[in-house]
Every structure is written in structure tokens, then in C-alpha cells.
């Protein structure tokens, strides 16, 4: 199950303790490609990611087609992010006490039901923008449960030495989904508005089967028996994150970057749709983004071995800020596609590095809470971005609207470059896994 928001997720980090010394090299791990449970999880998620890329793209176009308003269409995209933010904190606390396989199967099955309801309502002639908003919010809420369950499961089924590679493959999976999903969705949308959504509902069912056939039990953590109150568990996750100086910086900067990047990309899609571009042509934006992600996923393991994770984060912020700000002055679809490819080049190394660090340093009993606490802090303002983008486009032209978001990205990149906390984040090879 993949969320459909764009942006730069962060991860939990720590510099409040002394710099960890390199630990002995781990025993040679079994190849990921011989790990049956990992292959099942990756295969199901890859197919679901492609389906989610198709339905996410189709939802924005369908929202505009139903309402004729860029602001209301942006509201459909905002509902998805709002669902993620609202459910993030309780999801983390509950995932840390529920069997992780069961969580993932229930979430993917629920996704199939939600998207199936859109298809049914359309065929009966009763589909409304409000229905899209509800489905977008609820499916994002399910994804808020699936995400931490998947990250915690990877830590159980993948050896620590292979975890950065597994996270990099996940980033490549997202690139592949974007490469295939949006262009195909644009073409299918022209044939039938809900055909991409039918495909996504089917992908959820296949993903549920793949996860359900995994051999590892993926049970709840041993400490789940303590059953502390949910509110107390949420506070513990937030406190664990906020007490770390570098993590606070990543969370604050990621809030700005996620808000600005989502606003920029939503605005760009709406600008192209307003000027009459065909859906298949608009879908090529995702092709450029996906191409950059795929190349970046290939480069990520080598970059993570050679460079400090913090320096990759800073470099990634600057690449995103400069590329998107420059695109605000462009008008050619070719420039937009090339610019998004550049934007995505360092994202796999940045995201997989931070996510791997989080998984390594977080105790198993807190994996869900820490993952969702970071997501909540980093994505708290993101739901407002598509709405603001749509409102600004109804009053301003494309360039000033996009420059608002580009300027915010430049500010975040400058703050990242001046942060000693970010620069101190080490290479993953120097991070001993938590007990």
C-alpha cells in the first residue's frame, strides 16, 4: 500500500549520544533475492504502488472533472495527506502492539473495498467530489497503519547489513510505480475515468495475498503485553523523537519541504490541466520523476557506503530547492519533465539513508511509534499545500504561485546547510543496531 503524496519523508536520528564507533562487520547475510518473505512483500507492494500511482493521478483529474475548480480538486489531494497526518500517531502506537502481518493484510483488503466503492458509485451515476474526499482520507489512514508495520517487518525479515539495500529498493519501487502508473493512468483515464481506479483496487487484493502468504509470523513485539495506554504510548514516541537535536532539525525542515514540494507539484499539474494539456501528457511529469528515482535508487547503496547520511540529506534538500525554483520560470513540458528527473536523483539515497538509520537505532518495541511520530511532525502542514496551491492559482498566474513554494524550499535548504546537527549524522556502517 503506497500513499500518493509527494514530498520528502524524514526519519529518526540521534546525536545526543557519543558518536558510535564502527562495529564489527556482520556475518555474510543471505541475499535479498533468496529471501522469500522479502520477495513476497516487495512484489505485493510494487504492484500496489503502481496501482496507487494510477489512482492518485486519476483522483486529481477526476476531482477537477467533477467540480471544474482547481481549489476543490486540490482539496481532494489534501484529504489524502490529512488522513495520513490524523492517523499517524495512533497508528504507530497500535502497530507496536498488534501482529504486523494482520495489520498489513487488513489495510490492503480495506483499500480494495474503498476504491471499489468509487467504481461502483461512478457506474451508478452517484459519484461526487465528497465521495472522493472520503475515500482519499480513509485510504491514506489505512496507509498510515501499513507503513510502520512494513518498516518494522523489514527489520525482522531482513538482516541489518542488507537493510540499506532493501530501503533503496523500496525507493526504486516508487520510481517504477511512477514511471508506469501515471502515464498509463492518463491514457486509461481518457478511455474511462474509473479504469485506473479499478486497477488499483485489484492491486490491493494481490498485495493482501502476497503479505498473507509470508512465512514469518511478524508477531507483535514482546513488550506489547505491557499494554500502556495509547495516549501514553504516543507521547513516548514523540518524546523519543523530539529529545534528539538532529531529529528535531530534520522534522522541522521536512515540514517545510513537504509542504512546499506538495504545493508546487499539485500546482504544476493543475496549471497544465487548466491550459488544456491532455491527461497522458500531464502523466509524463511522473515519468520524469520516476526516471530520476530509478537512477537514484541504483546509485543510493554506493552513496550511502561512501558519504555521511547527513551530508546526503543537505545535498538532497539543495537539489530539490534549486530544481523546483528554476522550474517556476519554465513553460515547456520538456523542461518540467527534465527538472523533475533532477529533483528525484538524490531522494532515494536521502530517504533510504534516513529510514535505515531510524530502523537501526530504534528498539523493536518502539518501531511503529517512532516511524509515525516522525511522519506526523514532518507532514503536519502538508495537507494545506494543495488547497493553498489551488486557491493561489485562481487568483495568480502560474509563475508567482510556483515561486511561493520554490522560495520556501530555498529557505529550508539554506537552514539545512547551516545545521551542525545534520552534518553530524554518520554513515550507516557506523551505526550499531539497537537491541
What's the pLDDT score for residue 259? 93
What does the H/E/C string look like for 311-367?
Answer: HHHHHHHHHHHHHHHHHCCCCCHHHHHHHHHHHHCCHHHHHHHHHHHHHHHCCHHHH
Q: Break the chain into its structural domains and give their ranges.
A: 32-214+230-430
The set of cell numbers assigned to 142 is 489505512
DSSP 345: T
What's the pLDDT score for residue 226? 54
Return d(Cα 75, Cα 80) in angstroms, integer: 9
Beta carbons within 8 Å of 291's beta carbon, 6+ residues apart:
175, 179, 341, 344
What's the pLDDT score for residue 261? 94
What's the pLDDT score for residue 412? 96
Report the b/e string of 252-261 with b at 16+ CB within 10 A: bbbbbbbbbb
Phi-psi region of 68 (alpha: psi -120 to 50; beta: other; left: phi over 0): left
What's the pLDDT score for residue 223? 55
The set of cell numbers assigned to 16 is 545526543
First-to-last CA distance in the chain?
29
Compute CA distances 57 → 65, 167, 175, 282, 389, whole Å.
13, 24, 14, 9, 16
Compute CA distances 125 → 66, 67, 128, 193, whole Å.
12, 15, 9, 12
Just give the CATH number of 32-214+230-430.
1.20.1250.20
Q: Which of 214, 201, 222 minimizes the C-alpha distance to 108? A: 201
**Residue-level pLDDT, tens digit, the chain, 435 residues:** 544 333 333 333 333 333 333 333 333 344 778 888 999 999 999 889 888 888 887 887 888 788 777 677 777 777 877 888 888 889 988 988 899 999 999 999 999 999 999 999 988 988 888 899 999 999 999 998 998 899 888 888 888 778 888 888 887 887 787 778 777 887 888 788 889 999 999 999 999 999 999 998 887 765 544 567 888 888 988 998 898 887 788 888 989 999 999 999 989 988 998 888 887 788 788 788 888 988 998 999 899 989 999 999 999 999 999 999 999 999 899 999 999 999 999 999 998 888 888 888 788 888 888 888 887 888 888 878 888 998 899 889 899 999 999 999 999 999 999 999 889 889 988 877 776
What's the pLDDT score for residue 227? 66
Q: Which of 426, 425, 418 minimizes the C-alpha distance to 253? A: 418
What's the pLDDT score for residue 1? 56
State CA 151 to chain mean position distance: 12
The set of cell numbers assigned to 248 is 528535531
Amino acid at each position: 500500500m503506497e500513499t500518493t503524496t509527494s514530498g520528502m519523508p524524514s526519519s529518526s536520528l540521534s546525536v545526543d549520544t557519543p558518536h558510535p564507533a564502527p562495529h564489527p562487520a556482520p556475518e555474510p547475510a543471505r541475499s535479498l533475492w533468496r529471501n522469500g518473505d522479502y520477495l513476497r512483500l516487495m512484489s505485493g507492494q510494487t504492484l500496489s504502488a503502481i496501482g496507487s500511482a494510477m489512482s492518485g493521478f486519476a483522483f486529481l483529474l477526476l476531482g477537477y472533472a467533477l467540480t471544474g475548480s482547481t481549489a476543490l480538486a486540490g482539496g481532494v489531494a489534501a484529504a489524502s495527506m490529512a488522513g495520513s497526518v490524523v492517523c499517524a500517531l495512533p497508528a504507530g502506537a497500535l502497530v507496536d502492539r498488534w501482529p504486523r502481518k494482520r495489520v498489513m493484510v487488513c489495510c490492503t483488503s480495506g483499500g480494495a473495498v474503498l476504491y471499489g466503492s468509487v467504481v461502483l458509485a461512478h457506474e451508478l451515476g452517484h459519484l461526487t467530489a465528497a465521495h472522493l474526499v472520503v475515500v482519499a482520507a480513509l485510504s491514506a489512514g489505512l496507509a498510515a497503519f501499513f507503513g510502520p508495520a512494513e518498516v518494522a517487518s523489514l527489520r525482522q525479515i531482513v538482516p541489518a547489513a542488507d537493510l540499506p539495500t532493501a530501503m533503496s529498493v523500496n525507493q526504486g519501487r516508487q520510481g517504477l510505480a511512477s514511471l508506469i502508473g501515471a502515464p498509463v493512468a492518463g491514457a486509461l483515464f481518457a478511455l474511462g475515468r474509473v479504469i485506473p481506479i479499478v486497477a488499483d483496487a485489484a492491486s490491493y487484493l494481490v498485495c493482501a495475498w502476497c503479505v498473507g502468504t509470508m512465512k514469518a509470523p511478524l508477531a507483535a513485539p514482546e513488550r506489547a503485553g505491557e499494554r500502556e495506554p495509547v495516549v501514553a504510548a504516543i507521547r513516548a514516541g514523540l518524546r523519543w523523537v523530539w529529545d534528539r537535536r538532529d531529529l528535531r532539525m530534520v522534522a522541522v525542515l521536512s515540514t517545510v519541504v513537504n509542504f512546499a514540494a506538495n504545493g508546487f507539484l499539485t500546482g504544476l499539474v493543475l496549471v497544465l490541466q487548466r491550459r488544456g494539456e491532455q491527461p497522458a501528457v500531464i502523466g509524463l511529469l511522473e515519468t520524469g520523476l520516476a526516471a530520476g528515482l530509478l537512477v537514484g535508487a541504483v546509485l543510493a547503496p554506493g552513496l550511502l557506503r561512501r558519504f555521511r547520511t547527513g551530508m546526503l540529506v543537505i545535498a538532497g534538500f539543495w537539489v530539490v530547492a534549486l530544481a523546483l525554483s528554476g522550474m517556476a520560470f519554465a513553460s515547456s513540458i520538456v523542461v518540467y519533465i527534465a527538472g523533475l528527473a533532477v529533483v528525484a536523483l538524490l531522494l532515494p539515497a536521502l530517504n533510504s539513508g534516513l529510514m535505515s538509520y531510524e530502523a537501526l537505532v530504534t528498539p523493536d518495541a518502539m518501531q511503529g511509534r517512532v516511524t509515525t511520530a516522525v511522519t506526523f511532525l514532518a507532514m503536519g502542514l502538508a495537507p494545506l499545500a494543495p488547497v493553498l496551491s489551488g486557491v493561489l492559482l485562481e487568483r495568480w498566474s502560474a509563475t508567482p504561485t510556483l515561486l511561493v513554494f520554490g522560495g520556501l524550499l530555498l529557505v529550508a535548504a539554506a537552514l539545512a546547510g547551516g545545521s551542525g546537527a545534520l552534518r553530524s549524522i554518520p554513515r550507516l556502517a557506523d551505526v550499531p543496531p539497537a537491541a
